[in-house]
Amino acid sequence: MTKRYFGTDGIRGKVGEFPITPDFILKLGWACGRVFTREFNREGGCLVLIGKDTRVSGYMFESALEAGLVAAGVNVKLLGPMPTPAVALMTRKQNAEAGIVISASHNPFYDNGIKFFGADGSKLSDEIEHAIEAELELDLQTVPSRQIGKVVRVEDATGRYIEFCKSTVPEGFSLRGLRIAVDCAHGATYHIAPGVLSELGAEVITMGVQPDGFNINEGVGSTDMAALSKLVRQQKADIGIAYDGDGDRVLMTDNKGQVIDGDELVYIIAMHRLATGRADAGVVGTQMSNLGLEIALKKAGLQFERAQVGDRYVKAAMEANGWHLGGESSGHIICSDVTTTGDGIVASLQVLMALQAAKGNLAALRAGITMYPQTMINVAIGGKVDLAAYPALGTAVAAMEQRLGAEGRVLLRPSGTEPKVRVMVEGRCAEQVPQLCAELATEVERILA
């Protein structure tokens, strides 16, 4: 059954435009409280944690969610600005029924959204999301006054998460001698990532650590790597690390400022695990994962499976196969033997473990993977669209695939977070791929107009 509000990762949109409005978010908090109480309730009442990134509208939506939840009889703990994976962790550590993150991840400040975690620190099931949407159709009714929830603020959440991140590397692991440039996107990792890396011994050069509510992801972070690449070269850093606004993604650069994307980072982690005897039989990627990753992993003797785009689908495929590593080219990497969800800081530490073990540099670690040229163009649309309802799209894709031949791929998919259709073309010829992608994007725009 199609969801009305939930997308690939929660509910997201422009602030002030339905459904990202204070009245809807209040109702959403109430609906969530009703479902969580019914589905997860235990003796002593239902507890939900709320964290947020640094965008200015987070204060407004934190208050709205809080009001809706307590009106449904749910107790609330406020974590303040925290990375999305930190909220997942704290949900487990605090024995809460659910965790909620107010964030639009890599989007600009004028967008916002709501993400959810269950008690186990994993994303909510489709069934729970459908149940929440059903409650949203009902009239809001506050529980009796004696049953109204209570709210407290968790003061030491940052310190707890820093210690957790450090615990994901072996005792005695050190980053001494490494000069690391870190870009926190003026987002939720600004007060955490530099501390984790410096406490492990690295010399840390920071950027994107002065959030003002409006500058999140603006010219910084994993969605805009140019400034970090320049900083790495200027400061002669050994490595650059960039997180996105809510800290669940990471991209890196080598010492020359060359960007290393999520597919390459997954490869580096997989090869380190293979070398240390910790590798599973395979790795999970997505429909967007570069063909070069699949070829390199199979050459190393590892299986590779593609899931739908979205970390919940990557995680589901990992669990089905009994594998512990999966990720997306965007830098959303899941190491499920370490934590329950994609975590930019944890993933970067996994890469740094590989770097220190090899006593080399990132350029050398990624030498075993040859990335195929890949171009993606976002075609703006008016709203949600069912691509299957447009047979002409299938015809256009088939024609493009024929032109690419056996060593190329084409993918069309609606974005789960923005009103766009993503058009991706991949092949061997670096000159041909951008041109073909532009042609296909133009055709998609014409068909959907």
DSSP for 200-267 reads TT-EEEEES----SS-TTSS-STT--HHHHHHHHHHT-SEEEEE-TTSS-EEEE-TT--EE-HHHHHH
Q: Which pLDDT band holds residue 96 (cuts at 50, 70, 90)? A: very high
Active site residue 105: yes
pLDDT band of residue 373 (cuts 50, 70, 90) is: very high
C-alpha to C-alpha distance for 264 and 362, rounded to whole angstroms: 10
Residue 141 three-state SS: coil
Domain ranges of the chain: 11-156, 175-258, 261-365, 374-448
Instruction: Give pLDDT, residue 188.
Output: 98
In this prediction, residue 418 has a pLDDT band, given cuts at 50, 70 and 90, of confident
CATH fold for the domain made of 374-448:
TATA-Binding Protein (3.30.310)
pLDDT at residue 43 above 80?
A: no
The CB density around residue 186, as the number of other CB atoms within 10 Å, is: 27
Burial letters 149-167, b for 16+ CB under 10 A, else e:
beeeebeebbebbbebbbe
Token pair 């269950």 is at which residue?
A: 118
Separation CA 427–CA 15 (nearest Å): 38
CA angle 61, 196, 253 (to 5 degrees): 90
Assigned CATH topology for domain 175-258: Alpha-D-Glucose-1,6-Bisphosphate; Chain A, domain 3 (3.40.120)
Q: Taking the model in full, what pTM does it have?
A: 0.92
pLDDT band at 44 (very low <50, low <70, confident <90, very high): low
CA–CA distances in Å: residue 191 to residues 207, 214, 247, 395: 12, 17, 11, 50
Residues in contact with 296: Cβ distance below 8 Å, sequence separation at least 6, in sequence order: 267, 368, 369, 370
Q: What is the mean pLDDT of residues 3-26?
A: 94
261-365 is a CATH 3.90.1150.10 domain: no
Percent of the chain with pLDDT over 90: 91
Contact 352, 198 (CB under 8 A): no
What pLDDT, in 10s, does the model give residues 199-231? 999 999 999 999 999 999 999 999 999 999 999
Question: For residues 314 and 356, is the Cβ–Cβ distance under 8 A?
Answer: no
Query: CA 83 to CA 246: how far, in whole Å?
Result: 5
Q: Which one of the listed residues 103, 105, 122, 229 is annotated catalytic?
A: 105
State which H helix or E strand residue 382 sits in.
none
CA distances from 196 to 162, 178, 180, 325 (A): 6, 14, 12, 22
Degrees, nearest 5: CA angle 266-335-188: 95
Tell me how far apart the alpha carbons of residues 357 and 375 are, in angstroms, rounded to a whole number: 33
42: Cβ contacts below 8 Å, ≥ 6 apart = 97
Query: Exposed/middle/buried for 277, CB within 10 Å: 0-12, 13-18, 19+?
Result: exposed
The yes-or-no answer to whether 11-156 and 261-365 have a common fold is yes
Report the top-level CATH class of 11-156.
alpha beta
Residue-wise pLDDT for 103-147, tens only, equals: 999 999 999 999 999 999 999 999 999 999 999 999 999 999 999
Please write the tens of the pLDDT for every residue from 243-297: 999 999 999 999 999 999 999 999 999 999 999 999 999 999 999 999 999 999 9
- Would you place residue 42 in the very low, low, confident or very high pLDDT band (cuts 50, 70, 90)? low
Least confident of 41-55, 295-309, 343-357, 429-443: 41-55
Measured between its terminal Cα atoms, the distance across the chain in Å is 26
Average pLDDT over residues 323-336: 97
- pLDDT mean across residues, the chain: 95
Cα–Cα distance list, 176 to 179, 199, 204, 251 (Å): 8, 10, 11, 21
> How many of the other CB atoms lie within 10 Å of CB of 231?
20
Q: Is 235 exposed, middle or buried (0-12, 13-18, 19+ CB in 10 A)?
A: middle
Please give the angle made by the CA atoms of 353, 355 and 358, to the nearest 5 degrees.
105
Query: Would you state the pLDDT for residue 2?
Result: 81
Lowest mean pLDDT, pick from 112-121, 189-198, 281-290, 410-419: 410-419
Q: Is the pLDDT of residue 1 over 70?
A: no
> In this structure, are residues 268 and 212 in contact, taking their beta carbons and an 8 Å threshold?
no
- How much of the chain, in percent, has pLDDT values that exceed 70? 99
